[in-house]
Amino acid sequence: MHLEVLSIYAVELENISKTFPGGVEANKNITLRIEKGEVHGLLGENGAGKSTVMNILYGLLSPSSGKIKINDEEIVLQSPEDAISRGVGMVHQHFKLIQPLTVTENVMLGHESPGRGYNRIALLVTMLFAAFSISLFFSVMDMLSAMIVTTLFVLVIIILYKSFNILTFLLVKLQPHYDKPGVVGYLAKVFSDLFAGLRNVVSLFIPLGIDEAAERIRQIAEENGLAVDPKAKILDISVGLQQRVEIIKALYREAEVLILDEPTSVLTPQEVDELFVTLNRFRDTGKTIILITHKLREPMVLCDRISVLRDGELVGTVNRKETSPEELAKMMVGRSVVFHIEKGPATPGEIVLNVNELSIDDVRGITVVDNISFELRAGEIFGLAGVQGNGQTELIEALTGLTKPKHGQILVRGTDVTGKSPRKMREVGIAHVPEDRHKRGLILPFTIEENLALGDHYLEPYASKKAGVKGFLNLNVFKTNARRLVSDYSIKVGKLTDHANTLSGGNQQKLVVARELSSKPIILVAAQPTRGLDVGATEYIHNVLVNLRDSGVGVFLISAELDEITSLSDRIGVIFNGRLVAIKDPDTTTPEELGLLMAGHVNQTEEVIL
């Protein structure tokens, strides 16, 4: 009898360090040991290094130093393919799906296998070509040669069509001779290499086994309770379903270790619960799950053990049963964190924003904002809850001048600004913190000074007249302005002349907020202001918003984070399918009720508090 010592660890990362060119130390000497069959949470602020260390495990990055062991085998990963072949699968935060393709096509991508059957058109063309050639032979040559040539011709065609199978057969035959010493072994290797190469080339031309793949996907979906239609196109299915496709992709490649990067950031509360059920089922079948997140609720509900990273280092690994959200937050940030903002009651003043029966169509002519009306007063925070994709983006675009509405009116302090340009909206007093700071908020290659002046750059004192001609910039004003804002908002920067893309996510968001607020607006439209931000930065932004409210600004807050809406807002509106389905008082409503409204379940009896 012989003893096999099996490791209890599915994955071991030992002393992993990663320094990016440019000097950023993303990971410093991190050691993680993930047990088989556990759900392990990887918690940390943005910039803490969680995605980096998991990308190293997945083969997307190579560590500067350290060892990786999968199933007790130490390996060096050259690419995600190596990781996948060892059973590691990753579901990224930003899905790697191709929108116009179907579920099956996406799942097969990179992992295509040949199928049975032939390409009918290719066959037809071949037959026509063969018919033509054979008749040519018979017309040009004598009977006997023609027949010989025809036979050879047909043989060649058959061999070409079957080349994949022939080559596979030859490779299988050569396999046992591979390890033989001497000339036999060498020749075997040589010819194997050759045939394998040819086989790779041929495999590019043979028909794809889409039906077989679809069948397998159906099987996987059933076994794991992840119902999805293999023939549906990605752009037609919901975000929750898209995430399921990503999970199926990993299972299709027979992943035993599943890494999920911020999986709940795009889901409704109900979809999150469904995901939790799925993950529990995985755990029961013996799969190992690593959950990357910066939210505190999920690890407490789901994980067995939780590792906390901060500033690239491992702070510690704790058992879920022995810890609490407060302790985890403290480990993440390094100090105690306030979860619920202390705020006094609102003292709303005059109406600053009037939206009357606003309707907006998208480029395809579909109504995405359907007759929305609401008011915003000075000194209050009106929060709009709703799952992304229900019209919030278009509503924000209308309020900030980026889209013209089809019908309706937007009034700022009585002035009609419907359909005006973004510059006009700014001049009237609407400031905008966009939901995608990289796409809309900042110009990343610009310096910090240049970004902080964006929007007001054409006004005094940023620009002035020289010799009577307008339009010359005062760059030193850019500098002094930047210096002031960076210190007022505690933005961590290197030099003011660094490019904006050197800042962390939280600091970039602070930059946007600082810039928008420096124009002393009347209304602030804040779209997902803490998306992708860690606990510390989120706390900061929340404080800024409350202070803004208290100083008399009307804040229109749009967020997919229910906790954020409920803790900050003085009134809560819910948007679904482009309609404002309800307006609630945060003191009297519950997350469950809001969740239902966000998903479109409207109560028969409901009180609407205006």
- Residues contributing to the site for other proteins (CB under 8 A): 82, 85, 113, 168, 171-172, 175, 178-179, 186, 189-190, 192-194, 196-197, 199-200, 400-402, 421-423, 425-427, 429, 432, 434, 439-446, 450, 454-455, 457-458, 461, 463, 470-477, 479-481, 497, 518-521
Kindly tell me which of 49 and 401 has the beta carbon lying closer to other proteins.
401
- Tokens standing for 7? 């490791």
DSSP per-residue letters across 24-45: -EEEEEEEEEEETT-EEEEEE-
Tell me how far, at minimum, the Cβ of 3 lies from other proteins, in Å. 27
Structure tokens at 434: 């966009």
| Residue 424 or 601 with smaller CB distance to other proteins | 424
Question: CB-side exposure of 198: number of CA atoms within 13 Å?
Answer: 15
Residue 75 belongs to what H/E stretch?
Answer: strand 73-75
Least separation in angstroms between CB 115 and other proteins:
13
Query: Whose Cβ is closer to other proteins: residue 285's or residue 547's?
Result: 547
Cβ distance to other proteins smaller for residue 99 or 497: 497
Q: How far is the CB of 96 from other proteins (least distance, A)?
A: 22
Specify which residues 574 forms β-bridges with.
Answer: 385, 582
Q: Which is nearer to other proteins, 19 or 31 (CB)?
A: 19
* Beta carbon of residue 506, minimum distance to other proteins (angstroms, whole number): 19
Tokens of 288: 């190992």
User: How far, rounded to the nearest angstrom, does the alpha carbon of residue 474 sit from its chain's CA centroid?
Assistant: 40
Q: Which is nearer to other proteins, 344 or 414 (CB)?
A: 414
In whole angstroms, the minimum distance from the beta carbon of 300 to other proteins comes to 37
Minimum Å gap between C-beta 540 and other proteins is 22
209 vs 325, which CB is nearer to other proteins?
209
Q: Output the smallest distance, CB 423 to other proteins, in A.
A: 3
The dihedral built from the CA positions of residue 400, 401, 406 and 408, taken in this order, carries a sign that is: positive
Neighbour count for residue 112 (Cβ, 10 Å)? 15
Residue number, 359 or 474, with CB nearest to other proteins:
474
Residue 469's CB is within 10 A of a number of other CB atoms, namely 7
Torsion angle (degrees, nearest 10) of CA 183, 184, 187, 191 = 180
Between 292 and 517, whose beta carbon lies closer to other proteins?
517
Task: Between 81 and 215, name the residue whose CB sits nearer to other proteins.
Answer: 81
> Which secondary structure element, helix H or strand E, spans residue 377, and what is its range?
strand 367-377
Report the nearest approach of other proteins to the CB of residue 495 (Å): 9
> Would you say 26 and 20 are in contact if contact means Cβ atoms under 8 Å apart?
yes
* Comparison of 253 and 294: residue with beta carbon closer to other proteins: 253
Give the integer Cα–Cα distance in Å for 590 and 455.
39
Q: How far is CA 595 from CA 271, 301, 316, 336, in A?
A: 10, 19, 34, 29
CA nearest neighbour of 486 among 513, 468, 467:
513
Q: Which residue has the tokens 């409210």?
A: 549
Rounded to the nearest whole angstrom, what is the least distance from the CB of residue 390 to other proteins in the complex?
Answer: 21
Question: Cβ distance 43 to 65 under 8 Å?
Answer: no
Is residue 189 within 8 Å of 178, Cβ to Cβ?
yes
Q: Which is nearer to other proteins, 119 or 476 (CB)?
A: 476
As measured in angstroms, the least distance from the Cβ of 81 to other proteins is 8
CB 498 to other proteins: min, Å: 10
With residue 207 as reference, give the H or E element that holds it.
none
DSSP reduced 3-state for 525:
strand
Minimum gap (Å) between residue 455 Cβ and other proteins = 4
Structure tokens at 20: 């990016």
DSSP 282-349: HHHTT-EEEEEES-SHHHHHH-SEEEEEETTEEEEEEEGGG--HHHHHHHHHSS----S---------
